[in-house]
Structure 1
Amino acid sequence: MKRAGCLAAGGLFALVAAASMVFSWGWYSSSPVDKDTTFIVPEGASLTAVANKLEAEGLIASADSFLLRAKILGSRDPIKTGEFPVPAGATASQLLDTFQHGQPQLRFVTVAEGVPSVMVHQALMAQPLLTGDIPVPAEGSVLPDTYDFERGETRAAVLKRMQDAMTRYLAEAWAKRKPGIAVNTPEEAVILASIVEKETGVARERRMVAGLYSNRVKQGMKLQADPTIIYPITQGRPLGRRIRQSEIAAVNGYNTYTMVGLPRGPITNPGRESIAAVLDPAATDALYMVADGTGGHAFATTLDEHNANVEKWFALRRQRGEM
């Protein structure tokens, strides 16, 4: 009797062990995935919703089986939102571990220094992996940088990160501003920085250009910045032609040829360096500048000196056949 009992117990143990092996095999064996692919875990999705989605997309054979094994054999850690890589032959165990502990795939969108808000809007709306609609953001509210995003993320969320980055940077930079600068508020700093951004693409000149325009602001002179003529016409896009005399004479809230002081708002989204230049401009007496033919500018403190620099620039342009 004892021997028969031992045999029965042994058989039961073997049966349980075999059943356990079969149960575990279904968790650790290859899935129906026959090629590398990706899987998106939607925002706020439960494990049950993910299992049903996996089954619907043919990545597992049964949602019910996946859930049962996940509850018994898997981790209790929460699943993440985003797009995850799924290699060919991935097991159910690997899928759950990826959703719980893996890193979602990221994409990137870049806003270059001096890109106006209409073009930021255009870039975000043209990104097919983002969702939802957004308005054109306020000019000067976006910090130029490279931003990551996930497939299926909303455009509004990405734009908010861009604007939050500008808010944070501006607050930090304003707190470190030099005394006696020409602007009185962070908002004015962004306006003047947007002019500096559009007036020079030469990094070493930014503080000098900021110093020149700061001098003009302090002395109550017209800034006479060509990009402020163009902004009301194109909203910051390239003009694609020469500025007309009628546009130079136009009276509006931006044209600094017909008004004294800063425009009513920024004319682009300035980068960190242009903002920093306005908050710590070069110590200079310069009031004038003109292109020097090398990509930079010739600076002058008097009108006579400036006129001589202008004549040199015109002579160079005539030599190049541009006039």
Structure 2
Amino acid sequence: MKRKKKTGIWIIILLLAVGVAVVFGGTTKTKKNAEVIIEEGSGSREIAKRLKEEGVIESQLAFLVRLKFSEYSGKLQYGTYEVKNGMSMNQLFKMLATEGAKENTINLTVPEGYTAEMIGARLEEKGVCTKKAFLEAASTKEGYDFEWLSDIEEKEGKKYILQGYLYPDTYNIYKTASPKEIITLMLENFEKHYKEIETDQSMDRIVILASVIERETSVPSERVTIAGVIENRIKKDMRLQIDPTALYPLTDGMYDKKKVTYDDLKIDSPYNTYRNKGLPVGPICNPSVDCMKAAANPEKHEYLYYHTKSADSKEHEFFKTYKEHINSQK
């Protein structure tokens, strides 16, 4: 009986040793360079999950166990972090505990496809500045030190000259930040992402087309296909007839109208592609770099029409002829 008890104890010890080895061996160093955004109110588990999703750590459990036994347990903060590949867990804990959001700051999240009008409304809700002040700052190139701003065309009827260039992301900003300071951060972010685009087209055209793609589909795989449809229709001198281009002026950039009527599509605006040929006069939202890439590399095909597969579907069906397009809806 004594031998059996000793054997049982050794098995338990062995299992514990294996468990410790697995946990502590699961994450010893960070795995990649990454910008990681930790939202306000995130606990240790949410932070570990976020780091895992970003590919920074290998094991959430290992991260949490190591954190529990470190001097930084319970001290991690929200904020935006630049994680470097090969950091030790202790270095990562220290950064998350000491380099987070500064005092008197807020996180401003700008989703992909948001407009300047939506951003202004969100800033007003957070008490940073008025929507009006933000839109005034987005209506001019004055006061912003970026050479590429000269490439943005100033056309009659364009609402906000910097619409399309306020890059969607989460920003940690001071509560006292001015609209120009906030916009400068967004323009810097746009500049960084636009370097990924390879094209012979003008930047302004790419951003306008990308903004239409952004509002037209939420399915990533469809972006290049829709870009191709738009280019095909332009080549054939057809109106694009894309609903968001009418909704943008109709809703003053808020896109808060759920049902679109035929009368809505008649709105007299240089943005409305039901009334005007070619692309809108300017961007109808602020697009992601993925939509800009789609605009720069449209899919080659013969489609000229598309519609959603069903009333509650986000996916589209594509057609080469108007007859196919109409028959598919019967």
- SS of match in other structure, 1:210: helix
Aligned with residue 222 of structure 1, among 230, 239, 242: 239
Superposed CA deviations along residues 73-121 of structure 1, whole A, max 9, x for unmatched, are xxxxxxxxxxxxxxxxxxxxxxxxxxxxx64634421110111111111
Q: Give 5+ residue unaligned stretches, structure 1.
A: 1-101, 312-323
Superposed CA deviations along residues 280-299 of structure 1, whole A, max 9, x for unmatched, are 11122111001102320000
Distance 1:132 1:250 in 2: 28
Report matched runs for 1:91-106 at 5 Å: 103=99, 105-106=101-102
- The 8 Å contact of residues 115 and 284 in structure 2, kept in 1 or not, is answered as yes
Structure showing greater radius of gyration is 1
Report matched runs for 1:51-200 at 5 Å: 103=99, 105-106=101-102, 107-128=106-127, 130=128, 134-136=133-135, 137=138, 138-170=162-194, 172-174=195-197, 176-177=198-199, 184-200=201-217
Aligned with residue 243 of structure 1, among 260, 267, 270: 260
- The 8 Å contact of residues 211 and 284 in structure 2, kept in 1 or not, is answered as yes
Aligned with residue 314 of structure 2, among 295, 309, 316: 295
1:280–1:250 distance in 2 versus 1, CA, 3 Å: same
- SS of match in other structure, 1:135: helix
Displacement of 1:151? 4.8
1:131–1:122 distance in 2 versus 1, CA, 3 Å: closer
Displacement of 1:198? 0.8
Amino acid at match of 2:227: A
Amino acid at match of 1:120: I
- SS of match in other structure, 1:273: helix
- SS of match in other structure, 1:109: strand
Aligned with residue 301 of structure 2, among 284, 289, 314: 284
- Identity among equivalent positions (%) equals 29
Distance 2:166 2:101 in 1: 24
Q: Which residue of 2 aligns with 1:269?
A: 286
Displacement of 1:127? 2.3
Q: Which residue of 1 aligns with 2:328?
A: 309
Displacement of 1:239? 4.1
- The 8 Å contact of residues 303 and 319 in structure 2, kept in 1 or not, is answered as yes
Displacement of 1:221? 1.3
Distance 1:148 1:295 in 2: 32
- The 8 Å contact of residues 143 and 163 in structure 1, kept in 2 or not, is answered as yes
Distance 1:132 1:199 in 2: 29
Q: Which residue of 2 aligns with 1:201?
A: 218
Q: Give 5+ residue unaligned stretches, structure 2.
A: 1-97, 139-161
1:104–1:270 distance in 2 versus 1, CA, 3 Å: closer
- SS of match in other structure, 1:245: coil
Displacement of 1:271? 1.2
Distance 1:132 1:228 in 2: 26
Q: Report how many aligned residue pairs link the two structures.
A: 205
Displacement of 1:148? 1.8
Distance 1:287 1:121 in 2: 36
Distance 1:104 1:212 in 2: 44
1:125–1:208 distance in 2 versus 1, CA, 3 Å: same
TM-score relative to the length of structure 1: 0.58
Superposed CA deviations along residues 218-241 of structure 1, whole A, max 9, x for unmatched, are 222110101111111112213424
Displacement of 1:131? 6.5
Distance 2:264 2:257 in 1: 14
Please tell me the root mean square deviation across aligned C-alpha atoms, in Å: 2.6
Q: Which residue of 1 aligns with 2:94?
A: none
Amino acid at match of 1:163: L
Amino acid at match of 2:220: A
Q: Which residue of 2 aligns with 1:320?
A: none
Distance 2:246 2:177 in 1: 37
- SS of match in other structure, 1:165: helix
1:288–1:149 distance in 2 versus 1, CA, 3 Å: same
TM-score relative to the length of structure 2: 0.57
